[in-house]
Amino acid sequence: MYQWDFSILWSYRWLFLNGLWVTLAFTAAIVVLGLVVGLVSGLLRLSSIAPLRWLSQAYVEVFRCTPILVQLVWFYYALPILAGIEMTATTAAVLALSLYGGAFYAEIIRGGINSIESGQTEAALALGMTPAQSMRRIVLPQALKRMVPPLMNQSIIQLKNTSLVSVLAVPDLLYQGQAAAHDSYRPLEIYTLIAVLYFAVLFPLTLLVGRLERRLARAD
Amino acid sequence: MSEIMIEVAALRKQFGDHVVLRSVDLKVGRGEVVALIGPSGSGKSTLLRCLNLLVVPDGGAVRVGGKSFRFGAGASQPGNRALAGFRAATGMVFQQFNLFPHRTALENVMEGPLVVRRMARAGAEALARGLLAKVGLADKAEQYPSRLSGGQKQRVAIARALAMQPAVMLFDEATSALDPELVGEVLGVMQSLAAEGMTMVIVTHEIAFAREVADRVVFLRDGVIVEDGPARQVIDSPREEATRAFLAHFHRQREG
């Protein structure tokens, strides 16, 4: 029978905290960048100019239909050679995860905008607004409200996806856990703690999404 | 007729293979109230939407006030800014109200002056409160649309359109989505607008109202104007067989 000894974890506390911080900072960066990319791509997808629509769709499909792990490795090893630029593991990881997330955000944003009745745009245009004003003042504020729960869900998935950056030796929570496991020969305790830490961050967020969803359902 | 406010010439529109407007000519004088009637699919709503270019015609010309556009071969498509400037001079009221649900009644009315006219907030609010009072909803200014009845929503929508101080008002079946007991309050507002001398084009199924309030009634069928004349004459003694057949439904309803 395995003898659990969680007391060894305490000596690695700074390592875990450091890893957790990197994971959270990574998540913040890729969520923000991903949302920007997703918003631009989602709007391009609704553009009246066909080549812009095709471009956006091609981007979304490429990133949705390849595994994120493959993208990470490709951005780190292949892109620098092809483009002739040096890239740190962090840069490659942020780039790949932001673009990956952006593809999913783009679909959520496009769907949210499409869900607003065309009468809203018509009323805004009839007042004399330009299409851009109508989008910014009338359609997007309403669409955003509907998008918040799915966008938060996708962001939660993004937080979990950051654990993959450990393959590029980016010192996130999982990477630090691996280091501690090798050092202590106590992988069971360490990976249990890692799982608990991810859960402790994500569970309150999923509860929040659930509450938002119910509140929106009532408002409609 | 006095000064012509709206002039439509040889207007054509088709959606795919389906021709909705064949070649429509229409003139509306300043202060005139024109009711467009006709069976569903006759093109009356499309014609109305061509007047503020929410539907862009395939051919012909549209003029409202001093601004005009030509469409069809040789004419370039107007840009977004030109379209917006044109639409700002016409007010439109929709069957489904289309109030902005994330804005209060007051903010709905202020939206056009603020965003399109770039009016200062205080001025826009004073204008909007005045218009809400005019449609009898001064006490509902802070309410969101979801808290208003259909008739109240439509009156806010009329105030919102008036806030742009339009040269003409367009009504697209403004009472068709209302419960019968709420139709009167909206028609009342429209009637007082007409009495103030507003130039109005009204797509409606309210034949009695058209007869009462409109100066002219235009009957459309299959994308062409079949009959165009003084309201009472067209409704009480139509010259065309098609008009008579259409109106027979309504007369039967009234008697029944």
The pLDDT assigned to B255 comes to 52
Rounded to two decimals, the ipTM of the complex is 0.93
8 Å CB contact between B12 and B22 = yes
Residue B198 reports pLDDT greater than 70: yes
In this predicted structure, the answer to whether residue A219 has a pLDDT above a threshold of 70 is no
Mean pLDDT of B22-27: 95
- Tens digits of per-residue pLDDT, B40-89? 889 999 999 999 999 999 999 999 998 999 998 888 888 999 999 999 99
Alpha-helical regions (H) of chain A: 13-45, 50-64, 68-73, 79-83, 89-114, 118-127, 131-133, 140-161, 173-184, 187-219
b/e B46-72 (16+ beta carbons within 10 angstroms → b): bbbbbbbbbbebbbbbbbbbeeebbbe
Flag if B102 and A117 touch (Cβ within 8 Å): no
Q: Taking CB atoms and an 8 Å limit, are A128 and B164 in contact across chains?
A: yes
Q: Outline where DSSP puts E strands in chain B.
A: 4-15, 18-29, 33-37, 59-64, 67-71, 90-93, 168-172, 199-203, 216-221, 224-230
Cβ contact (<8 Å) for B115 and A119? no
> CB-based contact (8 Å) between B96 and chain A?
yes
Residue B191 · residue B155 · CB < 8 Å: no
B83 chain-A contacts, CB cut-off 8 A:
125
Q: What percent of chain B has pLDDT over 90?
A: 88
Closest CA in chain A for residue B169: A126
Please tell me the distance in Å from A210's CA to the nearest CA on chain B. 22
Instruction: Name B168's bridge partners.
Output: B90, B199
Look over chain B and give the mean of its residue pLDDT values, rounded to a whole number. Answer: 93
A120 CB within 8 Å of a chain B CB: yes
Contact pairs from chain A to chain B, CB under 8 Å: 69
Q: Test A127 with B96 for CB contact under 8 angstroms.
A: no
Within 8 A of B80 by CB-CB distance, chain A residues are 130-132
For the cut 50, the answer to whether the pLDDT of residue B17 exceeds it is: yes
Mean pLDDT of the region A68-75: 94
Q: Convert the pLDDT of each residue in B128-169 to its tens digit.
A: 999 999 999 999 999 999 999 999 999 999 999 999 999 999
- Chain B residues touching residue A127 (CB < 8 angstroms): 87-88, 111-112, 115-116, 160-161, 164
CB contact at 8 A, A62 and A115: no
Task: Determine the pLDDT at residue B63.
Answer: 95
Beta pairing, strands B216-221 & B33-37? parallel
Nearest by CB to B84, from A117, A119, A128: name it: A128
Q: Assess contact for B50 and B62: CB atoms under 8 A.
A: yes
Inter-chain contact A142–B164, Cβ cutoff 8 Å?
Answer: no
- Say what the pLDDT of residue A212 is: 85
Please give the Cα distance from A135 to A200 (Å, whole number). Answer: 38
Tell me whether strands B224-230 and B199-203 are parallel, antiparallel or unpaired.
unpaired
A49 min Cα distance to partner chain B (Å): 14
For B92-133, the pLDDT digits (tens) are 999 999 999 999 999 999 999 999 999 999 999 999 999 999
Q: What is the pLDDT of residue B162?
A: 97
The neighbouring-strand residues paired with B71 are B60
Task: Please give the residue of chain B at the shortest CA–CA distance from A133.
Answer: B115
- A142-165: per-residue pLDDT in tens? 998 889 899 999 999 999 999 999
Q: What is the pLDDT of residue B24?
A: 95
| Of the partner residues A123, A128, A145, the one whose CB lies closest to the CB of residue B94 | A123
- Residues B13 and B51: their CA atoms lie apart, in Å, by 12
CA distance B183 to B171: 14
A133 — contact with chain B (CB < 8 Å)? yes
Percent of chain A clearing pLDDT 90 (strictly above): 80
Residue B12 has pLDDT above 50, yes or no: yes
User: Any chain B CB within 8 A of the CB of A115?
Assistant: no
> Do the Cβ atoms of B102 and A145 come within 8 Å?
yes
- Whether chain B has a CB inside 8 Å of the CB on A118: the answer is no
List CB contacts (< 8 A) between A119 and chain B: 94, 96, 98
Strand pairing report for B18-29 and B168-172: unpaired
Q: What is the structure's pLDDT at B256?
A: 43
pLDDT band of residue A53 (cuts 50, 70, 90) is very high
DSSP symbols for A41-91: HHHHHT-SSHHHHHHHHHHHHHHHSS-HHHHHHIIIIIHHHHHT----HHH
